[in-house]
Chains A and B, each alone.
Chain A
Amino acid sequence: MLPRVIPVILVEDGRAIHTVSFRYNLYLGDPINIARIFSDLAADEIVVLDRSRKETFLEAGNIEHLSRQINVPLSYGGGLHSRKSVTAAFSAGADRVVFRATCHECADLVPWTVAQFGSQSVTVCFNLNEPTKHRFLRKSPGLNDSIELAHNFVSQGAGELLFQDVKRSGKQEGPDFDSLGFLGSLFSTSVILSGGVYSITDIRKAVQFGFSGVAVSSKFSREASSGSPLVSYLSEEERKQLHP
């Protein structure tokens, strides 16, 4: 399999946004337009992650419109708390659904989705190094707990794991391979790395560590020097470096 370079579109209340460590929102534009551009640029896959507080992008019927606009694989995560919402995501055209590992309903939804739609239709996402907003709020599981949880989900049939390093997210500093590189060869399923991936060297290094691909946000959604919104994807030159 060729390494996958996956643009992530983070959606909040119908708007595509860019964040640094999941904070400081920068408005990027309309998610459907952005997805269409990624598709036209032959992106390997598009991941839409929705963190809307009210109506999700799926509930508003927009995933269906988005899916019809693209001809590359689509993964969707956000607000998937019931079998009905998971079925709705697939009916709307998602090829894969993304569950957050700490979501309470996951214990039921992961095996059910695997049985109904197959292992290849399920990605479980882990947020690593997530800062806690308040000392009384529940902390995200640490790395060791996340690995144990991941093994558990894999045994239930989850077909893909997405590890997001929240601390590095949006910072364009490169992934923390020293701490997280070993995750790439730890599981029998495909593993995607997210957080700080910015250069072709980062992507090639991730592949060397055994990751099936990388999820990228900042590199493909902002102009390098000014930071203004600008949708782009791998150039042909960069492609050649990845697929020699």
Chain B
Amino acid sequence: MSTYDRGREKGTYAILPIVEILGQLPSSNPVRAKIDRKIVSLSEDAALSNPSNDRLALVDVGVGNWSSLLSLLRRLGTQPVIVRHWKDLVACNRVILPGVGNFGSFSSALKTSGIWEEVRSSALHNAIPLLGICVGAQMLFDSSEESDAGEGLGIIPGVVKRLSPDLTKTIPRIGWDYLEVSRSAGLSEGVVESLTAPNRFYFSHSYFMSPTDRSVVKSTSGSSSNIPAIVSSSNIVGVQFHPERSSKYGASFLKAYLDGFFDAP
């Protein structure tokens, strides 16, 4: 059965041709913005008509690089919805917050779009699974040394600190690394397998997550395994690396995450 047929069965068939068109247009094209909005409204209808449909929101506030993540999520068989306004998040039951760039700019863009409050509320009060990537993961904390004015979501207590020479040879820290997975992390077998060497992951950052409670650190990287790579607290997960740019290893991690991050009790 083709993707198109599967989509038709689930009632989302109207989105697929538009997604294909969207893929051919540059981001600067004004038609594309209209198509993006159309996708949001059509998929909202589809989600309402099919409550069991797993509706995955991919947040885009203009400073994150979401296109490569979108391609990967589609290859994994999901139909993500690009979300640029808080209203579009309402019907979602899973949120991914990708981030590239400056903490302050990202925080301010989230607030302007109203997504800041909506993400916070859905993750904290409605237990919606939230995955933050790179700056998106750093945004889960209270604040960052990168920006005095930028406020974090404050979902995981702690701060984001600047990397120092005792943690890494070069700053920023750019490149691939193996991960160390905490034995007491309680991660699902699939996730642990996807994180185990020779699988390696791509990092590109100058700041690192420093949670108040160290037990939220599920995996580390760095020569002394002292830089948090994955943090998690109940339905919230933050990854410092870029799964969308970590080749087949990132794809297998993301697939395992979508299948279930924690070990079933």
Contact = CB atoms under 8 A, between A and B. Distances in A.
A188 B170 CA distance: 5
Complex A-B, nearest 5 residue pairs according to Cβ-Cβ distance, in ascending order: A1-B175, A120-B172, A159-B172, A61-B26, A120-B204
Interface residues of A, number: 39
Q: Say which size band chain B's interface belongs to.
A: 35 or more
A61 B175 CA distance: 27
Interface stretch (B49-57, B123-131, B187-195, B245-253): B245-253
Given A61-B26, A92-B27, A117-B101, A71 B68 contact: yes
A39 B246 CA distance: 10
A231 B168 CA distance: 34
Interface string B166-198: 001111111111100000000000000000001
B65 A115 contact: no
B174 A72 contact: no
A93 B65 contact: yes
B217 interface: no
A190 B250 CA distance: 23
A50 interface: no
Given A67-B67, A118-B100, A73 B177 contact: no
B246 A91 contact: no
B176 A71 contact: no
A190 B103 CA distance: 22
B204 A64 contact: no
A68 B245 contact: no
Contacts, number: 117
A160 B174 CA distance: 8
A95 B65 contact: yes
A239 to B, nearest CB: 9
B48 to A, nearest CB: 29
A71 B247 contact: yes
Given A90-B100, A121-B100, 20 more contacts: A1-B203, A61-B26, A64-B26, A69-B71, A71-B245, A71-B246, A71-B247, A92-B67, A95-B204, A117-B63, A117-B100, A118-B206, A119-B171, A119-B206, A120-B174, A120-B206, A188-B170, A189-B172, A190-B175, A212-B170
Contact of A95 (B72, B100, B171, B176): B100
Nearest to A60: B26
A79 interface: no
B138 to A, nearest CB: 11
A149 interface: no
B28 A68 contact: no
A121 B101 contact: yes
Contact of A1 (B27, B28, B177): B177
B88 interface: no
